Structure 1
Amino acid sequence: MFAVIKSVASLMLGAYLMLVGHSLLGIVVPLRLEEAASSTLVTGVVMSAYFGGLLVGAILGQKVIIAVGHIRAFAGLAAIMTASVLALPLFFHPVTWFLLRFLAGVCIAGLFSTMESWLNERADNRTRGQVLAFYVMVSYIAMICGQFLINFWDINGLEVFLVGGILMAVCLVPTALSKVSPPSLEAIHPMSPLELYRASPLSVIASATSGVMQGAYWGMGAVFAKRIGFDTFEVSLFMGSMLIGGLVLQYPIGRFSDRYDRRSILLVILLITAAACALGMPISLHSATLPQFSLFIVAGIMGGAVAAVYPTAMAQAFDYLPKEKFVAASSGLLLAYSVGATGGPLMAALLMDSLGVAAFFGFVAAVALLLAAFVMYRIKVREAKPVAEQGSMVAMPLRLSPVVSELVPMPSDRSGSGAKERDVTP
């Protein structure tokens, strides 16, 4: 394990610096808009722009890499990302911030794709699981650090933007100087969205719904916490709690998912999400009289459960596909996730504007219950895959790229035929 970590240390350091800066900006932008008395709808639109960029970047990222190569692609995208960060305080207007956050989403998608391609090149079938596990751990720790980094500077000053820009620029150094050879661009078996949906309708719908929920709480979570009276430190604790929940809960949920019908586990995850949100609504309405840690616990449970929806959906899809389709399927699921995440902040903002701040939890609960209903429908119309034939669910890093599926270790006895679930009804 030590040898594997040492071989990818420079790439992991670059990923860590990039994610710390990225996470810092993710909490600074909504809080800065809130300090400027922007409407909930305006904040929701600006936060949706990032996920819209992520969607476009997921489509264009591979094309850029193929056109110019991994090293040039990473350097160019990191430079543009740095410029977009430093331009935020220079052009403080919702329209310019919408465009800059959209650009940031495009760049981040390409940066992840490039970084994970490098990691995949270094890993082999024996070490791929270890590499991915370490990458997941680094991703979560970096995102948690980025959330708490906001407490060192005034969010109304320039420092937070300068630090974010510096981190995005410095992430170039360990990555560009890495001795790991750039990956070869191998052919990937294509897969249309319709083919992916036919193979596993639940995986596509669950990925999109996961995007809606994660987009809502990453886009509007800081605004919610600020509106109920939290100061900057308490906002970072609230947002950090969701990340810590994701870090802690993904592994045990993954273990259960490998031992039982994934759809049943997904149903339990969604019910836990809805229950946590149901507790969060009255707590948020009485936040002045109830202990603050109770809301942090709720946020941790909700964040951890929601974070497990996407990897469960991906594992469900992989159970019914041949291995040569994994990368294409991962791309399709990421696109579904990005579409959902683009609408998540906007829909949550509209409800918070019309129904009050507690609608933040209500929206996530409603989306979770709708998906739970669809899961129950799929359980009725399709037989479960035998547990012995399932692959292993692996915890996934945040802000996935299409390439990360190549890092997922699959059992060697998996059939390449991509056995299909049998429909009980026509």
Structure 2
Amino acid sequence: MIIALRAVFSLLFGAGLLILGNGLIGILLPIRLGVEEVSPHLSGVVMSAFYLGFMLGSIAGQGIIRRVGHIRAFAAFAALATATSLVHALVFDVTVWAILRAISGFCMAALYATIESWLNVKSSNDHRGQVLSIYLVTSYLASLLGQLLVNTYEIEGLGLFCLGAVLMALSLVPVVLTRVAGPEIGAVKRLGLRVLYKASPLGVITTWGAGMLSGAFYALGAIYADSLDLSIWQISLFMGVPIFGGMVLQWPIGRLSDRYDRRTVLLGVLVTCVAASVVLSFFGYGGASLPTLLVASVFLGGALATIYPLAVAQAFDYVDRADMVGASGGLLLVWAIGATIGPLIASFVMGRFAAPALFIYLAVVASALVVFTLYRMLRRQALPTSEQTNYVSMQTTSAIANALDPRTDPLPEFYYNDEDPGDR
């Protein structure tokens, strides 16, 4: 573990700063929209634009990186992400903010691809799984701390936007000064959606549903919390503890999914999501103590964080090992589509019925996934647990990160070139 950490420490530090700044901006914007009395529907449009940009970035970002090189690409995208954070503070306009969120999402997708391809080239085959685990813990902790940083300055001022921009700008330093030249990456070919669906209908539909759920909650959850008249500190806790829940529940859920029929475990996770959403909706309308809300949100966050890796593991059970990286790229695109649509639908429901209806939306989507899971359990015989692929914790960043996944074949040697065209 120490050897693996030493090899990638500077990259992880840069990634942590980037995710820290992005997490701060991600919770600041919906709170600020609430302060400015923007309707939930328009707030949903603004926040869903990030996932639209992320989807486009996951498609086009790698091509830009191949053309200009890693160092130049990272510097350009980090500069754009920094600038968008600052422009939010200078111009308050819903349309402008939606455009800025789309640009930010595009940049983050490309930045993830840049960092993760560097992590791949600096990780030996023996340490790929360890590097992935360290990277995931770094991502979770940085996201959690980013929620809490919203308490450092006044919501109405410029300080929080500046802090987010500074953190993103500082992420350049450890990454650009890394000793290993940025590898020139080849294209990660995605498996077609039709091929993926034919291999694992449950994996594809559940991945899409995971995006519908996570995108809506993390885009609009702060608006719900603000509607309960919680303080900024309490809102940051409400949005932070689901991230903590997602991190700590990965291991037990993964253990269960490797020992039993994975669909049964997925069913339990979805039912947990429904139950936690019903509790949060009920107390949102009727009032509840903060501890009750936090406990429910921990379980909701744990469920949301494990649906996607369970869906990927389910799909991998029916995909050849050589195609797994391509399959993960296709599934990431499916997730991004769901995450773009989710906040739009949820915000419409919130505008029609009040903010707590966010969790009615989550409960309905999760219930639909429960029904589809039961249907697929009747349609297809369960694989013996000895033939299932192992569960691996993962986040929705880029398909390149999945090359670190010990279940996949390492990327071929020709995938990386020693000389980065951006360094010439």
TM-score norm. by structure 2 comes to 0.94
Q: Which moved more, 1:231-240 or 1:344-353?
A: 344-353
State how far apart, in whole Å, the 2-side matches of 1:110 and 1:189 are. Answer: 16
Aligned to 2:401: 404
Match of residue 349, structure 1, among 347, 350, 356: 347
State how far apart, in whole Å, the 1-side matches of 2:189 and 2:322 are. Answer: 6
For residues 357-401 of structure 1, the C-alpha deviation after alignment (integer angstroms, 9 at most, x for no partner) is 22111111110010111111111111112211122111113x421
Aligned to 1:28: 28
Aligned to 1:337: 335
Aligned to 2:85: 85
Residues 1:323 and 2:321 aligned together: yes
Would you say the 8 A contact 2:53–2:106 is kept in 1? yes
The one-letter amino acid paired with 2:113 is S
Would you say the 8 A contact 1:391–1:411 is kept in 2? no
- Measured after TM superposition, the shift of residue 72 of structure 1 is 1.6
State how far apart, in whole Å, the 2-side matches of 1:203 and 1:292 are. Answer: 35
Aligned to 1:416: none
Aligned to 1:422: none
Would you say the 8 A contact 1:206–1:309 is kept in 2? yes
Q: Which moved more, 1:173-182 or 1:362-371?
A: 173-182
The one-letter amino acid paired with 2:322 is E
Match of residue 360, structure 2, among 355, 359, 362: 362
Identity %: 42
State how far apart, in whole Å, the 1-side matches of 2:122 and 2:148 are. Answer: 32
State how far apart, in whole Å, the 2-side matches of 1:186 and 1:383 are. Answer: 38
- Measured after TM superposition, the shift of residue 182 of structure 1 is 2.2
Would you say the 8 A contact 2:191–2:329 is kept in 1? no
The one-letter amino acid paired with 1:62 is Q
The within-5 A match list for 1:130-141 is: 130-141=130-141
- Measured after TM superposition, the shift of residue 264 of structure 1 is 1.1
State how far apart, in whole Å, the 1-side matches of 2:336 and 2:279 are. Answer: 28
3-state SS, counterpart of residue 78 of structure 1: helix
Superposition misfits of 4+ residues, deviation over 6 angstroms: none
- CA gap of 1:226–1:162, structure 2 versus 1, over 3 A, is same
- Measured after TM superposition, the shift of residue 180 of structure 1 is 2.9
For residues 249-284 of structure 1, the C-alpha deviation after alignment (integer angstroms, 9 at most, x for no partner) is 111111111111111111110001101112222222
State how far apart, in whole Å, the 2-side matches of 1:196 and 1:278 are. Answer: 32
The one-letter amino acid paired with 2:148 is F
Q: Which moved more, 1:379-388 or 1:130-139?
A: 379-388
State how far apart, in whole Å, the 2-side matches of 1:217 and 1:122 are. Answer: 35
- Measured after TM superposition, the shift of residue 209 of structure 1 is 0.5
For residues 138-188 of structure 1, the C-alpha deviation after alignment (integer angstroms, 9 at most, x for no partner) is 101000100000101001100001011111111000001112342353464
For structure 1, list consecutive stretches of 5 or more residues without a partner in the other structure. Answer: 413-426
State how far apart, in whole Å, the 1-side matches of 2:370 and 2:61 are. Answer: 33
For structure 2, list consecutive stretches of 5 or more residues without a partner in the other structure. Answer: 410-424
Residues 1:220 and 2:217 aligned together: no
Q: Which moved more, 1:214-223 or 1:177-186?
A: 177-186
Aligned to 1:421: none
State how far apart, in whole Å, the 1-side matches of 2:247 and 2:28 are. Answer: 22
- Measured after TM superposition, the shift of residue 124 of structure 1 is 2.5
3-state SS, counterpart of residue 308 of structure 1: helix
State how far apart, in whole Å, the 2-side matches of 1:349 and 1:131 are. Answer: 37
State how far apart, in whole Å, the 2-side matches of 1:119 and 1:53 are. Answer: 23
Residues 1:308 and 2:316 aligned together: no
Would you say the 8 A contact 1:200–1:317 is kept in 2? yes
State how far apart, in whole Å, the 2-side matches of 1:135 and 1:4 are. Answer: 11
3-state SS, counterpart of residue 51 of structure 2: helix
Aligned to 1:123: 123
For residues 25-75 of structure 1, the C-alpha deviation after alignment (integer angstroms, 9 at most, x for no partner) is 000111111111111111011001001101111111111122122222111
State how far apart, in whole Å, the 1-side matches of 2:391 and 2:257 are. Answer: 7
Aligned to 1:171: 171
- Measured after TM superposition, the shift of residue 323 of structure 1 is 2.2
For residues 209-267 of structure 1, the C-alpha deviation after alignment (integer angstroms, 9 at most, x for no partner) is 00010011111100000001111111001000111110111111111111111111111
The within-5 A match list for 1:97-112 is: 97-112=97-112
Q: Which moved more, 1:353-362 or 1:204-213?
A: 353-362
3-state SS, counterpart of residue 52 of structure 1: helix
RMSD: 1.3
State how far apart, in whole Å, the 1-side matches of 2:190 and 2:295 are. Answer: 42
Would you say the 8 A contact 1:189–1:324 is kept in 2? no
3-state SS, counterpart of residue 89 of structure 1: helix
Residues 1:4 and 2:1 aligned together: no
The one-letter amino acid paired with 1:108 is M
State how far apart, in whole Å, the 1-side matches of 2:73 and 2:319 are. Answer: 30
Would you say the 8 A contact 2:190–2:329 is kept in 1? no
- CA gap of 1:212–1:187, structure 2 versus 1, over 3 A, is closer
Number of aligned residues: 409
3-state SS, counterpart of residue 8 of structure 1: helix
State how far apart, in whole Å, the 2-side matches of 1:364 and 1:244 are. Answer: 19
State how far apart, in whole Å, the 2-side matches of 1:20 and 1:411 are. Answer: 29
The within-5 A match list for 1:143-158 is: 143-158=143-158
- Measured after TM superposition, the shift of residue 189 of structure 1 is 5.1
Match of residue 390, structure 2, among 379, 389, 392: 392
State how far apart, in whole Å, the 2-side matches of 1:102 and 1:184 are. Answer: 26
Would you say the 8 A contact 2:25–2:161 is kept in 1? yes
Aligned to 1:373: 371
